[in-house]
Amino acid sequence: MKDSSPSWPAPIGEDRGGRPRYLYLIHPTQHDGSRQREYIGADPDKQAEALARVEAYEKLVQVRDAIREIDHRLAAITGHLAHALLAATNGLDSYW
């Protein structure tokens, strides 16, 4: 699973709903400056699968960011508790 953006190139063809017919996934820029375009095509099942992958990746990124935020907060709380314990024992650090 990797980061990508859906792309519906215009005048290649349209379905009956007026939406562009062919789907591509555009992946992030590589180290050499190139971008990979993954052709998905016009098959509605393949399009749904590709769009579900994009959505799943976006949810994964949100969960990862939430975990990082919680981790940072726990680290700050741990530091405050250690400082409070040290202050409560008048600097006698018998637990560490």
- Residue 31 lies inside a defined structural domain of this protein: yes
- Residue 44 lies inside a defined structural domain of this protein: yes
Return the residue matching tokens 């799943």: 56
Most distant CA atoms of the chain, gap in Å: 77
DSSP reduced 3-state for 60: helix
Domain encompassing residue 40: 5-88
Higher pLDDT, 1 or 70: 70
- pTM equals 0.66
- Residue 94 lies inside a defined structural domain of this protein: no
pLDDT per position as a tens digit, 54-70: 999 999 999 999 999 99
Q: For the chain, how many structural domains are there in total? A: 1
95/85 Cα distance (integer angstroms) = 9
C-beta separation of 86 from 93 below 8 A: yes
5-7 vs 35-41, strand pairing mode: unpaired
pLDDT per position as a tens digit, 13-60: 555 566 667 889 998 888 888 888 889 988 889 999 999 999 999 999
